[in-house]
Structure formats: C-alpha cells, structure tokens
Structure 1
Amino acid sequence: MSSATYRNLLRTPGAAAFFLTAAVGRVGIAMTSLGIVWLVHGRTGSYAAAGLVTGGCAVAEALAGPQVARLIDHFGQTRVLPPALLAHAASVVTLLTLVADGSPSWLMTAGGVLVGATIPQLGALSAARWSALLRGDRSAGLPTAFALESLSNALGYLVGPALVSTIGAGGHPALGTVLAAVLVVVGGLAFAAQHSTAPPPVSAFAERTRARDSLLRPGFAVLVVHNLAIGVYFGAMQVSVTAFAVEHGAPDAAAPLFAVSSCSGLLAGWLYGLRRWRSKPRVQLAAATAGLALGSLLLFAAGSPLGLGFVIVLTGTAVPPILVLFSVLAESAVHQAVLTQAFTWLNSASAAGAAGAAAISGWAVDASGATGGFAAATTAAATMAVLAAAGIRARYGPQRQHARQEPTRPKRRPRDERTMPGTQPPA
C-alpha cells in the first residue's frame, strides 16, 4: 500500500482543483459554530445565549441543507452555489451587526438561523463530483475517493476549531466568525468555478420524479438511521469523555483524549482508503460496526484516563471506514440525479443524532456518571451493528425470492399431442 492511490485520484483531470477548494471551504464550515459561540459570548457574557444562537444555526443547517441540495441537483452546482454563498455572506454580516448592537437573544438566534440555512454543504457537493468523475470502469476508485473526502473533513474539524479558538482566546471573537465566512465563500466560489467536473443537472420531469423516488427506498432509509445512530455515538462520546476526565480529577485530560481519538481516526481512514477491498461494502460495514460495538463495551472497563485513551484509539479506528462505507452504499442506493440530496440527508441525520445525544447523554451522566453516557454510545453502536448484520441478509433475500417467483416456461408437449385433432394449443 502506498499513497500513490490518492495521488492517482488527484491527478484525474479537474479532481485536485475541486477537492482542494472544497477543503478550504470545509475549514470555514468547521469554524462557524464555534465561532458563533465565541462571538455571542464575547458580547453578552452568557453561554446560554451563545448556545441558543449556535443551536438555531445547527437546526437550520440540518433542515435547509437538503432543500438547497434539491435545487442544486435540479439546476446544477455552478448555478445555485454562487447565490447561496452570497446569501451566506449577507447572513454572517447580519449576525455580526445584531451582536454588535446588543440585540435581544431571540433576534440574534434568528440571525444564527439565517447563517445555518445558507451555509453550503461542500462535502456533499464534492462527493457528488467524485461519483460523476469515477463512473464506468473507474468506479472501483470510489471508496478511495470517499476516504479522501473523510480525511479532508476530519482535518477540517481539527484545524478549524483550533484556529477559531486561538483567535477568540486572543480577544478577537468577531474575527473568527469573519475568517470562517471568508474561507467558506472564497473556497465555495472557487469550487463553483470548476465547471468541467460539475455533475450535469437533470431537467426531465419524469427522470427527476424517478430519481426522487429512489430517496424513499428502504436501503437508503436504513442508511439514514445508521447516520442518526452514529451521530448519537459522537454526541454521547463528547459528553461522556469530558465527564470521565472530570470524575477522575483530570479535566485537562479531555482535550488530549479527543486529539488521540482524532489522530487514530485519521490514520485508520488513510490506511483504509489505500487498499482495494474484495469483500462487499455491506459485509465490511457489518464487520466495522460489530468492531465498534464490541470496542465500546471496553469503555465500561476503563479505570483511568490512560486506559480510556487506549479504548478510544481502538474504537476510533472503526469510525472512518464506517463513514466511508455510508457514502459508498448511498451512492449505489439512489439515482445519480439526487446524489447531492442523499449525501446531505446523511449529514443532517448525523447532526440531528449528535444534537439529541448531547441532551440525552447529559441527563444520563447526571444520573449515573460517565457510565451512563457510555451506555448511550454503546447502544448506538450496537444498533448500527444489528442494522448492518440485517442488511447482509436483506441483500440476498430479495434476490432468492425473486428467483422463486419468476414464472417458469410451460413444458413443450409431445409432437403427437400437439398435432392431434381437437387438442388446444398451449396457453
């Protein structure tokens, strides 16, 4: 295995340009939510107000993202993305003005909703371009391309929050939000300027209807539930690891634990994308989710932050392949004309799961300590494992059923019987 696989993908005409510009925008997207926290708290001194505005932004992003993606699939990335980016820039300016003027919390929350509703889903757009670029005899490279997308996303969420936190801690909270918007808009406009790799929009009404129907297929619905569950896992782990560190008298250990988890995930995702796997994606997903569920059971045995770190490294290696396989299975489950919507729905489901888990695991931690939060994370991992195992059987079950229901040819009658007077021709 070598990095030549990734280099070969990026040498595909037009691939490096759209991938790198989307990566720049992703750093800005990763900075946006935390930047709003620094911005609002720096002006009001209230974390409650900051959380309210940030929550409004997150909910609006999850709800509006698929609707914007639907417009993109219909009219094309290069036509919809530029006005959406300009709307995002105007929304950020509006929020900055409201915060600077000391507006009421509900009004600042409305500004946060505007920011979230207009933020572009560059990850989904980039994944859709890879799918359009690697068709036919090059489709075997899709898992590696999606692994590259996962690495870009993980790096963005390592660099972005650290950068905006450094700026906010330096006494310039508004600058972090401004920088996030600049990265999103500049990276997004540069991405939209790559016309040659943009997937063609679907204009025929009948084809659009057939494509939208593919989003209602059971296979894709199960993937949405999978992403909801992994969002719950992420949200529960964030709260639980922090609570565990505090319980053991080492609150400063939480940040290194999260860093170790992220680094192990980056390494695992990079290695996973370098190999061409012979087993079917559904089989790989069942194995990876089973590994995550079994590894999560070790969380209950951790007796110190160091022991928890070893468990987090183990479970962290299972997460990137799972995320890549979600994209691979979604790409094969829906019509090409609605890929942007499909990827965006998966992102929204994951975000919704993480948001809900923050509240659920917080209650569980208050009631039972960090163990209660680990129980929520383990339940989510077990749910994914059960769904993935059932998906293997569902993969072959319908085919066997179809074979049994296929009509059989009527047996040919003997020549003498077919020529006898008074006999009926075979139906």
Structure 2
Amino acid sequence: MAGYRDLLRTRGVARIMTAQLAARFPNGMTSLAVLLHVERVTGSYAAAGLVLAATSIGQAVAGPVTSRWMGRWGMRPVLILTLAVCALAIAGLALLPLPVPGYMALGLIAGLSTPPVQSAVRTIYPKMVTSRQLTPLFSLDASLQEIIWIVAPVVITFVATQIGTLEALLLIVAILVGGGSWFILSPEVGRVRIPRSRRGFGRVLLKAPVLLATVAGFLLIAACSAVEVGVVATFGHSGAAAGLVLAVFSVGSLAGGLTFGHIPIGPWAMARRLTIVAVGLALAVFALDVWWLGGTLFLAGIGIAPALAVIFAITSASVRFSETAEAYGWIGTGQLIGAAAGSAVAGFLIDGVGPQGAYVAAAGFAAVGVLVAVACVRGFPDLRERDASPIPDTEPVSTIT
C-alpha cells in the first residue's frame, strides 16, 4: 500500500483518477435505468431489451471510432461533443413520449456518443508517471473501477424504484455532465496531445498483444456477465442476497488488484490470473447457497482486476502512442460484446438447466481464456525488465558521419 500512496502523491494522479471515475460512473447506471424506464413506459420487457440492445450496439461501434478521433481533433473537442450528444439523448429518453423505434433510435445515439473517457485516461497515464509506476497505476485503475460496479447499480436502482425512472435518467444526465466536465477540465486532458495515427483504421488489431488483449477481455467480461445473470437467477430480484453476493465478487477484484498490482508482468501473467478466475467460478457450480457463492466468487474476483491490468499494460507497451486510444477503444468494444455474449449464453442455460448453467457458462468462458493465454503465451510481451510505456512515434534516425 505504501507504493500506492506514493503513486497517488504523484502530481495530478489522484485528481485525474477521481475525475475519470466520476465521468465513468454513469456506465454502471445507464443500462439498468434505460431498462427500467422503457419497461415502465411501454409495459414490455421485450421493448426495453430492444432499446438496451440498440444502446449496447452503439457503444460497441463507437469505441474505436471516437477514440481514434481524439488523435485527429484532440481530446477535449471529441469529449465535449460526445458528452453533449449523449446527455441530450439520455434526456430525450427520459422526457419524450415516443414509440419503441424512437426510443431505440435515442438509445443508439446515446451509445454511439458515449464519451471515450476510458481510452483517454489510459492514454494519459503513461505521460504522468515514471515507467516503474505505470504497471501499478494500471492495476490501481482496474481495481478502483470496481467502485463503479458496486455503488452505481445500487444508487440507480434505489432512485428508479423509490423515486421514479424519469428521475433516475435525469440523475444520470447530471452525473454525466458534472463528472464529464470535471474530467474534461482537468489540466492533463489539455496537456496531452495524441499524435494523428499514420496507420489505417483497425490495423492496430494486427498487433498480437492488442488482439490477445481484446480476446482476453471479451472472455473475462463474458464470464463476469454470466455470473451476474446467474446470481440474479439464483436469488431473484427481491431481497439483498443477490446484491451482496455481487458486491463480494467486486470486492474480491478490488482486493486482488491492490494486493498483486505491484507484481511485474511476464508472458505467463495472464494465464495465471485467469486461472484464479476459472478455479473460483468452477467451484461456484457445486452449491448455490449465499455463503458458498460468496466465498467462491470472492476467490474468482481476486484474479479479475489483475487480469485487466495485464490487458492495459501489454496494450500500452505494444503500440505507438498515436495508436493507444484506438487500441483501448477496440478492447472496450471486445468487452461490450463479451458482456452481451455472456448474458445471452447464461440466459439460455438458465432456461434449460437452471441457475447452475450460468456458472457453468462463466467457468467455461474463463477456462477458454486460460487456454488462449497458454496457447498464445509467445504473443504476450515480457514486461518484467521493461516498462509499459507506449512506443514513441518519433525515433532517432541513424546517420553516416
């Protein structure tokens, strides 16, 4: 923890980390609020699901596109534009009486205009700290983002059920504008300039570490999403058990990230960390009482933030600085698709064999992640003797004298 204290004392780190958490806080609220609001207005969960699907598709498509725009037009202009459009779209969902296709259109616009805060801040980090501090910083960032997934759903569910879904969506708009403005006005956002990438759109995925990070993120988040569906199916919507078990899952991730974040990242790091996740999820299959699930999911959670830290670090170390934002955009898209796939597979298995099917699916996704990490271990860079800083866009040219 002394290392993390030193890290947070580095000029601007605590401020930018807090600001980006505030800016991203609506990410843990929007899907649930949209689902509850559209279901209340239309009386149909199917309609709500369609609107939510449109929002998710928009987010998946926008990730690498808006991230790449930051290299062309600058961080602040892109963040301001996307923030304004997204806030207006969510406000429209709350205030406008529309048919389902209208809500779907607004959901798609809100998804497409989701501000690329995650790509921006992870592009900024290497410019703020020393090379020795970068890997722990990625680990701390991956750990603290669990706060979003612990607190945000609880807050938005309380507001939506006790006050109203319209008010819940307007609260999201307020947090989006307030947190987003705080992040945009941070000095570091104006100080860091992303060079325009010279490579074609999408070519960054041809780099093995970026592709592996995207695939690993897809499988890891698919496993987590299947767990969430399984926990809700196990304990139902009433009572506190489901929320408590999911909170324990996130606390495990927070603890794992803070505990193991200082460990240097070698080629086998991803395989080892995903193995922890896979073992915990495999054990969860054997009993569905609250104590057993709490313990096994805490164990599985210990590997999540450290695995995410590997994803962020190997991506940063493998691309040019001009490509970092787009690379993180593709990784975010992979994770969004993974969330949708995990939920869908878990849902089908729950209908077929019961709640245990969701944990089988989660363990399966994690196990495939371990197999990919082992089979492709040569594609993971060894960062034990080097830092995770991006490759400079300008390099010295040798001359003959």
TM-score, shorter chain, exceeding 0.5: yes
Q: Which residue of 1 aligns with 2:164?
A: 172
**Once the two structures are aligned, what percentage of the paired residues are identical?**
26
Q: 2:359 aligns with which of 374, 390, 393?
A: 374
Distance in structure 2 (CA, Å) of the matches to 1:323 and 1:301: 27
Contact 1:281 1:328 in 2 (8 A): no
Q: Which residue of 1 aligns with 2:76?
A: 78
Residue type of the alignment partner of 1:372: G
Distance in structure 2 (CA, Å) of the matches to 1:267 and 1:109: 38
SS at match of 1:282: coil
In structure 1, list runs of 5 or more residues that go unmatched. Answer: 398-427
1:124 aligned onto 2:112: no
Distance in structure 2 (CA, Å) of the matches to 1:111 and 1:212: 27
Contact 2:209 2:379 in 1 (8 A): no
Describe the superposition over 1:219-256 as per-residue Cα deviations: whole angstroms up to 9, x where unpaired. Answer: 2112211111112201211222333346xxx9753222
Distance in structure 1 (CA, Å) of the matches to 2:290 and 2:109: 40
Describe the superposition over 1:315-345 as per-residue Cα deviations: whole angstroms up to 9, x where unpaired. Answer: 1111111111111111112221121111121
Distance in structure 1 (CA, Å) of the matches to 2:338 and 2:324: 21
The offset of 1:395, in angstroms, is: 5.3
Distance in structure 2 (CA, Å) of the matches to 1:171 and 1:305: 29
SS at match of 2:145: helix
Larger CA deviation: 62-71 vs 24-33: 24-33
The offset of 1:218, in angstroms, is: 2.3
SS at match of 1:347: helix
Q: Which residue of 2 aligns with 1:30?
A: 28
Describe the superposition over 1:393-423 as per-residue Cα deviations: whole angstroms up to 9, x where unpaired. Answer: 44599xxxxxxxxxxxxxxxxxxxxxxxxxx
Distance in structure 2 (CA, Å) of the matches to 1:151 and 1:69: 23
Contact 1:281 1:329 in 2 (8 A): no
Distance in structure 2 (CA, Å) of the matches to 1:256 and 1:47: 25
Q: 1:115 aligns with which of 110, 115, 121?
A: 110
Contact 2:222 2:341 in 1 (8 A): yes
In structure 2, list runs of 5 or more residues that go unmatched. Answer: 383-401
Q: Which residue of 1 aligns with 2:194?
A: 201
Larger CA deviation: 316-325 vs 5-14: 5-14
Contact 2:58 2:109 in 1 (8 A): yes
- The 5-angstrom pairing of residues 17-416 of structure 1 reads 17-98=15-96, 101=97, 103-134=98-129, 138-196=130-188, 198-203=191-196, 208-209=198-199, 213-245=203-235, 253-273=241-261, 276-278=262-264, 280-302=265-287, 304-394=289-379
| Structure number, greater radius of gyration | 1
* Cα pair distance change 1:88/1:394, threshold 3 Å: closer
Distance in structure 2 (CA, Å) of the matches to 1:362 and 1:210: 38
The offset of 1:210, in angstroms, is: 7.7
Residue type of the alignment partner of 1:38: L
* Cα pair distance change 1:49/1:333, threshold 3 Å: same
Contact 1:25 1:122 in 2 (8 A): yes
Distance in structure 1 (CA, Å) of the matches to 2:174 and 2:289: 42
Distance in structure 1 (CA, Å) of the matches to 2:339 and 2:12: 34
Residue type of the alignment partner of 1:121: P
Distance in structure 1 (CA, Å) of the matches to 2:201 and 2:62: 20
Contact 1:81 1:120 in 2 (8 A): yes
The offset of 1:77, in angstroms, is: 0.8
Q: Which structure features the higher share of helix residues?
A: 1
Contact 1:91 1:111 in 2 (8 A): yes
Distance in structure 2 (CA, Å) of the matches to 1:359 and 1:213: 29
SS at match of 1:208: coil
Describe the superposition over 1:280-307 as per-residue Cα deviations: whole angstroms up to 9, x where unpaired. Answer: 3322212111222233321232263322
The offset of 1:51, in angstroms, is: 2.0
SS at match of 2:285: helix
Distance in structure 2 (CA, Å) of the matches to 1:303 and 1:16: 39
Residue type of the alignment partner of 2:40: G
Distance in structure 2 (CA, Å) of the matches to 1:381 and 1:130: 28
Contact 2:278 2:363 in 1 (8 A): yes
Paired residue total: 381
Residue type of the alignment partner of 1:268: G
* Cα pair distance change 1:300/1:33, threshold 3 Å: closer
Residue type of the alignment partner of 1:201: I
Contact 1:32 1:177 in 2 (8 A): yes
* Cα pair distance change 1:361/1:303, threshold 3 Å: closer
Describe the superposition over 1:148-189 as per-residue Cα deviations: whole angstroms up to 9, x where unpaired. Answer: 222332101222111111111113211111111121122222
